[in-house]
Structures are given as C-alpha cells and as structure tokens.
Structure 1
Amino acid sequence: MKKLTTIFLGLALLLTTTLVNAKPVSTNENLTAIHAINTYVDAITRGKVQGLNDVLDQSVKFSMLRGKTMLSFDKKQMIDFLKQGRNVELACTTNTEVVERNADVAVVKVDMKFENFTRSNYVTIANTPSGWKITNVHSVFNK
C-alpha cells in the first residue's frame, strides 16, 4: 500500500510540474501571413469560413470593380455573404503570387480562373500587434 501511495504522489508531482511549466497557448502563433492568405483562399474558393474572422482585421474593407460600378463591403457583410456559400467549392483554379512584401505589410494577388473569366483579388495583409491580418481586398474581373 505504501508503494501505491508513493507511485500516486510521484504521478501527481509529475503532472503538477508539467502543468506549471506548460507554455501558455497563444492565439497569435497561427496568425502568419501564409495562414491569413490560405484561410482567405479557402473561404472564397471552397466555402470553408472557419477561422476567417480571426484573419480579417476589424477595419477590413472589400471592394469589387464590376464593369463601371464599384461595390464596397465591410467585414460583417463579407462574412455573412461567405457563410451563405459555406462548403460550396467554386469551379475555378486558384493561383497566388506575392506582389510586394516587407516586415510589416504584403500585397498578394489571388487569381481565380473560371471557364470564361478571371477574378483577380489584390489582398493586403498587415503585421498587426495581434498577428498578420487582412486589411484590404480589391477584386477585379477580366475576360
């Protein structure tokens, strides 16, 4: 019985030491530039909106040039729109290209090539205090 008590005390001490020394989980560790772009691409092309809210800055602006008309949306409007198409995969091929990047900001071109046209999204991401966040998306349509 004494041996069993010693084993339990040893396990309790080991568990306590492990929990005390455990690294706190930071929500910002995954907010890299690559993660932000991949999350955005998954949302707009595959309808996978999980995590999108985390990579969009609170003041993000979406604009879309359709012909001669400029449409603008805020974060809530865009998330609501994308949730309507949840888990719907678009019939397009997607290509990403870094246009410009430094330690604080990056512009990434995300081309979505459909059968009859291409939608080019110019995505600006910034290295904010809470990780890399999408701050602006401008979309244009080309034949």
Structure 2
Amino acid sequence: MKRNIKTIAVAVIALVSTAFYAHADSKPFKELNSKEVVMNYVGASLLGNSEYTKEMFADNFEYSNTANNDKFGKKDYVNYLNSVKDLKYNSTQTIEILDQVGSTTISKVTMDFGSFKRVDYITLIQSAEGWKINKVVTTYP
C-alpha cells in the first residue's frame, strides 16, 4: 500500500512536471486546480522536485512551524526548498482538501515518517495567475 501511494504520487508529479516543461513560456500554475498545486508542494517538500517553487507561492506567502515558532516568507522558503533539491524523504503522505469556497482552499497534508508525523495545513488563494499557496502551517501531532 505504501509503495502504491508513493508510486502514484511520483507518477502524478512527473506528469505535472512534464506538462510544465511543455508550456515553459506560459504561467505554469494557471491551468492547475488547487489539489494539483498541493501535490506540487508535496513534490517539492518531500520528493526534492524544486521546479516552479517560486511560482507556486503567492507574493505574501508565510510559512510557520508551531513546534519552534519559526516563520519564513516566500524568498526564504523557496531558498530552503531549492537547497533540498533532489533530497527524497522516506515517508507516506495523504492529501485532503478540507474546504474550498470561492477563491480559497484549505488543505491538509499528513506525512508519516514512521517514528513521527508532520501535518501541513495549506491555504491557497486563486488569483489571475491561478492557484497560489498563501500560507503553510506545520504541526507535529
């Protein structure tokens, strides 16, 4: 089961990346729905796929970690994701869209590393450039 989830996630991320590559001159997130943007986030944060990280986040993006009260803006978080490029974490993940009303979506990504879990609550907003991640709050239940 774990292997199937990983295989499906990698296949979808590869498909999305291929679609982005084919339309390199266009806005890469313009045609994606909110779940596809969240899947791209998972690809960047867990699977080391750092393509289009800058375009994935809104200009006023904020990341916060409740375990240590760290907060970062778009530039710092994109630099972090680029620094872990090609680093793949051994975890299983589930993606849930908790609520979608109008131009706002709240989703939950649960990452199970075996000895601990990490949960990211992701807020997305829809703009003229497509769905963008506005905020990520990380917790460790």
Question: Normalising to structure 2: TM-score of the pair?
Answer: 0.77
- Deviation track 1:36-63 (CA, whole Å, cap 9, x = no partner) reads 1111010001010101211100110000
Residue in structure 2 matched with residue 137 of structure 1 by the alignment: 136
- Separation (CA, whole Å) in 1 of partners of 2:73 and 2:102: 26
Q: Once the 2 structures are TM-superposed, how far is the Cα of residue 34 of structure 1 from its aligned partner?
A: 2.4
Q: CA RMSD of the aligned region, Å?
A: 1.4
Please tell me whether the aligned partners of residues 111 and 121 of structure 1 are also in contact (alpha carbons under 8 angstroms): yes
Q: Once the 2 structures are TM-superposed, how far is the Cα of residue 31 of structure 1 from its aligned partner?
A: 3.8
Q: Percent of aligned positions with the same letter in both sequences?
A: 22
Residue in structure 1 matched with residue 6 of structure 2 by the alignment: none
Residue in structure 1 matched with residue 34 of structure 2 by the alignment: 33
Pairing 1:50–2:51 present: yes
What secondary structure does 1:50 align onto? coil
Unaligned runs of 5+ in 2: 1-24
- Separation (CA, whole Å) in 1 of partners of 2:95 and 2:120: 9
Unaligned runs of 5+ in 1: 1-24
Question: Normalising to structure 1: TM-score of the pair?
Answer: 0.76
| Alignment coverage as a number of residue pairs | 116
